[in-house]
Amino acid sequence: MTETAAESRMVFQIYIRATADQVWQAITETEFRRQYFHGSTIESDFRPGSPLRSVSPDGELWGDDIVLECEPPHLLSHSWRSLWDPEAVDEPASRVTWRIEPQDGGVCKLTVVHDQLEESPATARGVSGGWAFIISGLKSVLETGEPLATPPS
């Protein structure tokens, strides 16, 4: 991860032995997402301007966001509000961008950028440790069929 205080931007990259379509499915389909994203679902038609909702395993609305850009299977950008966190719920939306780039040898580079956090310090604190676990879990599910055991404490 790299983070610059002036921009409040977090960048995470990982290489995954999977096709771009497989990585895209892992990001956009609930059955995959539940395995690596704290059991949450994802609901959207992924058209720019459409809602993108994330719901906890208990039915709590964790994210009520908007799709900003979508170019399957290479790019998804959406707003981000941390509705599960009472300290962050009233902050302005930030942005998350998922970029999938096929590489030689059946591998894709996944880059996740979480930015526009300048006015959302509680969100930045809340997600800074979580993204590495999320994308590592995504990689684990795609490569082994098994999620990571539990999030780090």
Q: Does the residue 151 lie in any domain?
A: no
In this prediction, residue 137 carries a pLDDT of: 94
- Per-residue pLDDT tens digits for 77-105: 999 999 999 999 999 999 999 999 999 99
As a whole number, the mean pLDDT across the chain is: 92
Burial 86-103 (b: 16+ CB within 10 A, else e): eebeebebbbbbbbbebe
pLDDT at 5: 45
Please state, in angstroms and rounded to a whole number, the distance separating the CA atoms of residues 104 and 65: 34
Contacts of 125 (CB under 8 A, 6+ apart): none
- What confidence score (pLDDT) does residue 150 get? 64
Residue 75 lies in a domain: yes
Please give the residue range of the domain that contains residue 82: 2-144
Residue 152 lies in a domain: no
Judge whether 126 lies within some domain: yes
Report the number of distinct structural domains present in the chain: 1
From the number of C-beta atoms within 10 Å of its C-beta (0-12, 13-18, 19+), residue 4 rates as exposed
The Cα–Cα gap between 79 and 114 comes to: 9
Quote the DSSP letter at residue 17. Answer: S
Whether the per-residue pLDDT at 18 is higher than 70: the answer is yes
Task: Supply the CATH number for residue 44's domain.
Answer: 3.30.530.20
Confidence of residue 17 (pLDDT cuts 50, 70, 90): very high
* pLDDT of 126 higher than 90: no
**147 pLDDT more than 90:** no
Q: What mean pLDDT do residues 136-149 have?
A: 90
Res. 31: pLDDT tops 60: yes
Phi/psi of residue 34, nearest 5 degrees: -55, -30
Residue 15 falls inside a structural domain: yes
Mean pLDDT of 9-28: 97
Largest CA distance in the chain: 44
Q: Has residue 149 been placed in a domain?
A: no
> For 32-80, what is each residue's pLDDT tens digit?
999 999 999 999 999 999 999 999 999 999 999 999 999 999 999 999 9
Is the distance from CB of 76 to CB of 69 less than 8 angstroms?
yes
pTM exceeds cut of 0.85 = yes
Question: Residue 94 in contact with residue 87, Cβ under 8 Å?
Answer: no
- Reported confidence tier of residue 148, pLDDT bands at 50, 70, 90: confident
Classify residue 73: in a domain, yes or no: yes
Residues linked to residue 13 through DSSP beta bridges, in sequence order: 111
